[in-house]
Amino acid sequence: MSVESVLLYVLGVLVIVIGLAVSIGLHEVGHLLPAKLFGVRVTQYMIGFGPTIFSRKRGETEYGFKAIPLGGFIAMSGMYPPKRPGGAPREASTGFLQALSGDEKQARQQHPAGLSAMIQEAREASAETIVQGEEHRTFYQLPVWKRIVIMVGGPAMNLVLGFVFYAIVMVGFGVAQPGLTVSSVNECVVASDSAQTDCTDDDPIAPGAEAGVLPGDEIVAIDGEQAANWDQVSGVIRGAAGRTIALDVLRDGEPLTLQVTPLLTERAVVDDDDAVVTDADGEVVTQEVGFVGITPQYEVAQQPITEVPAAVGENVERVVHLILNLPQRLVDVAQAAFGGAERDPDGPISVVGVGRFAGEIAALDTIPVADKVSAMLGILASLNVALFVFNLVPLMPLDGGHVAGAVWEGVRRFFAKLFGRPDPGPVDTAKVIPLTFVVVILLGGMSALLIYADLVNPISLFG
């Protein structure tokens, strides 16, 4: 690899690191703004975790950067209510990497007797940070809907960023999609599961080659219908096996009509993600379709803004599916990391893996700069959608855990009012602190596994 390629690789990694840091920073802004608007006392706004490398206090809030820019948090007074009415609430933060503060670690060491002691000490550890006379500015005393707005504000900011990045990529740069120009024509027909790369005298000639289709031909119409896109063309071909159809093309600007007879072939069924579909017994599902043996030339085409929501929605669906299948995916990653198995290109990766992708794209000298920029923005779009979905998982200390606590409190109060019962008060979310520690440990272990796998057995975009 040349010095220039190395520098471009490093530049690609830096672009993603900075983009991720900005995305995290704006995520915390999504928490900060509504918290300030609703009068909650916010003592810290930090990008990163670990030791503080720079900070400056503005009013009552300290703004700064920490050494490892892979997280962020804002510290608000009273995210956990006191055990009893009138007790001192505690100051806490929104970032899961900050869930185990120094005071809480000390409390656990001093009171190892049980979970109840740990919970109570965690409640009391930061009581002195609450300014006397400003107890009303604690998070837990806000109406339920305001707490939900504050906690959803962070993920919502990532969703907005995802929309913005997707819009720039799709509307501004365009998306590669199959056009109506023929890129290549198969000379013969071979089995779909064959490893054969060259035609032999025993192989039947492919229908497209037999009809005289050539690379560079632009398809104008098929079977008497105006050609609108490649999906339409391939759909007609699949349904016309054994029937001769007219293929109108432009060759060197001259119109030409070719007669082609698609061959009946058996092909594997694939889903929307181009993955092979299998039945309950694990056998590949096949279907009989027409085959001509031509492939389209891909073209970059700008998309209308109305296509952006669909792209974001598909990305959200993929991330949700990944999270729902995360245990098995992590087992697969572990087998790849420690057993040498092949990594699933659609499986989870760490920020190290994402950085490798960016570096490979930046160092590639076969694509124009505009395509590199588009690819980088596409990565940042996917990262922000992933942050949106992941942070809504209803487990503390993720934002979704705080939302779930607020929703449960609202449900309890609704039914208490409905049946004329006393107000049950705020939900004691401090009781899930032990579970929070478990979640943090699991997330840390998952991150370590993915980083190790991305170092020893990475997924490569280009093989």
Q: Is the pLDDT of residue 49 over 70?
A: yes
pLDDT at position 125: 53
pLDDT at position 120: 65
Confidence of residue 194 (pLDDT cuts 50, 70, 90): low
Confidence of residue 102 (pLDDT cuts 50, 70, 90): very low
When pLDDT is averaged across residues 382-409 and rounded to a whole number, the result is 93
- CB proximity list for 172: less than 8 A, separation 6 or greater: 302
Q: Which residues lie across from 218 on neighbouring strands?
A: 181, 250
- The more confident residue out of 394 and 82 is 394
Taking the CA atoms of 235, 236, 240 and 246 in sequence, report the sign of the dihedral they define. negative
Most confident of 282-286, 402-406, 431-435: 402-406
Average pLDDT, the chain: 85
Q: Is the pLDDT of residue 100 over 90?
A: no
pLDDT at position 115: 63
Q: What is the pLDDT of residues 353-393, one digit of tens each?
A: 999 989 989 988 888 888 899 999 999 999 999 999 999 99
Q: Which CATH number fits domain 176-301: 3.20.190.10, 3.40.50.2300, 3.40.50.720, 2.30.42.10?
A: 2.30.42.10
CA distances from 438 to 361, 364, 443 (A): 37, 42, 9
Treating both helix axes as pointing N-terminal to C-terminal, what angle do 399-418 and 144-167 enclose, rounded to 10 degrees? 140
Q: Is the pLDDT of residue 313 over 70?
A: yes
CA distances from 173 to 74, 243, 357, 368 (A): 35, 40, 19, 12
- The rounded percent of the chain whose pLDDT value lies above 70 is 86
pLDDT at position 104: 42
Assess whether 28 carries a catalytic annotation: yes
Nearest alpha-carbon partner for 45 in 152, 133, 392, 36: 36
Q: Is the pLDDT of residue 89 over 60?
A: no
Q: Is the pLDDT of residue 253 over 80?
A: yes
pLDDT at position 96: 52
Catalytic residue among 28, 91, 121, 210: 28
pLDDT at position 404: 93
Report the phi/psi class of residue 148: left, alpha or beta, with left for phi > 0 and alpha for psi in -120 to 50.
Answer: alpha
Confidence of residue 99 (pLDDT cuts 50, 70, 90): very low
Confidence of residue 432 (pLDDT cuts 50, 70, 90): confident
